[in-house]
Amino acid sequence: MTSLAARGFAVYALDLRGYGASPRDRTGFLTPMRAAADVVAVLKWVAARHPGLPPPSLLGWSLGGAVVQLAAQQPDAVLSSLVLFGYAVDPDLRFASMPAPEHPAMQKTVRADAEIDFISPLVTPRAVVDAFVTQALAADPVRMDWIREDEFNDLRLEKLTMPVLVIQGSRDPGMDDSTTGKFVAGLAAVHRQWTILPGGDHAAQLEDTHDAFVDAVAGFILRPVPIRRQ
């Protein structure tokens, strides 16, 4: 956020319900459609705050990528482009319908949970991991309880008609080139881009690949558009 703001972007980050400073709702659970609806509401709020700017660009990381994809395909979503980071799910994947528990588990977040996204020591100094874990445990001492994950079965690539950037680290073990290629090929967007950050893993925005990540995102948002010359 700091790096993008330094380049002149108006940058906002959303804590979904049960994350960071956002409390859980009365159910104690979070569902994909509830999260997507909250993202759409924030997009409208941001757009209203900046009437002189283009509609917002929306970025989602990992599970957040699925949430923002679901949000972006809603008919009332206000956005000019979509950035999916460390996320490209197989379009043929189906999420199983599971019965919801009566009460949320409220499971304590442990260190292993907080540092799971850091894969390669070649691009992640130990001091960076330790600093991230300290802040993550303070911000989210309890893991959020998700239910109705089969709502992600509503994801439809053909509904993503806005420009889309898919960005990943080359060492990200959760990203498979064949799956990502299938994902990108299925996008309805005419302007679609797949960027791989050499040496980065699943937390490329925080590692030694940080500058490359910021450059890629900023460059995509500020990309020149075709001009017809008479």
Tell me the per-residue pLDDT of 140-153, one tens digit each, with 9 for 90 and over: 999 999 999 999 99
% of the chain exceeding 70 in pLDDT = 99
Paired residues of 167 in beta bridges: 85, 195
User: At a CB cut-off of 8 Å and minimum separation 6, what does 229 contact?
Assistant: none
| Mean pLDDT of the 52-78 span | 97
- Output the CA angle 205-93-115, nearest 5 degrees: 30
CA-CA distance, 129 to 208, in Å (whole number)?
A: 12
- Does 107 fall in a domain? no
Mean pLDDT, the chain, rounded, equals 94
| Mean pLDDT of the 53-71 span | 97
- Retrieve residue 54's tokens: 């283009």
- Does 208 fall in a domain? yes
Q: Which DSSP state fits 105?
A: -
Residue 110 has pLDDT above 70, yes or no: yes
- Does 228 fall in a domain? no
- Does 86 fall in a domain? yes
The 10 Å Cβ neighbour count of residue 167 is 26
CA-CA distance, 228 to 165, in Å (whole number)?
A: 24
CA end-to-end span of the chain: 40
Q: Which domain holds residue 39?
A: 2-94+146-221
Q: Closest Cα to residue 91, out of 149, 189, 157?
A: 157
CATH number where 187 lies: 3.40.50.1820
Residue 123 has pLDDT above 90, yes or no: no
- Does 30 fall in a domain? yes
- Does 115 fall in a domain? no
User: How many domains does the chain fold into?
Assistant: 1
- Cite the DSSP H helix spans in the chain: 2-6, 32-49, 63-72, 111-114, 126-139, 177-186, 210-221
Is the separation of the CB atoms in 10 and 80 below 8 Å? no
Query: Taking the CA of residue 134 as centre, how many other CA atoms within 13 Å lie in the half-sphere pointing to its CB?
Result: 6
pLDDT at 230: 67
- Does 88 fall in a domain? yes
- Does 69 fall in a domain? yes
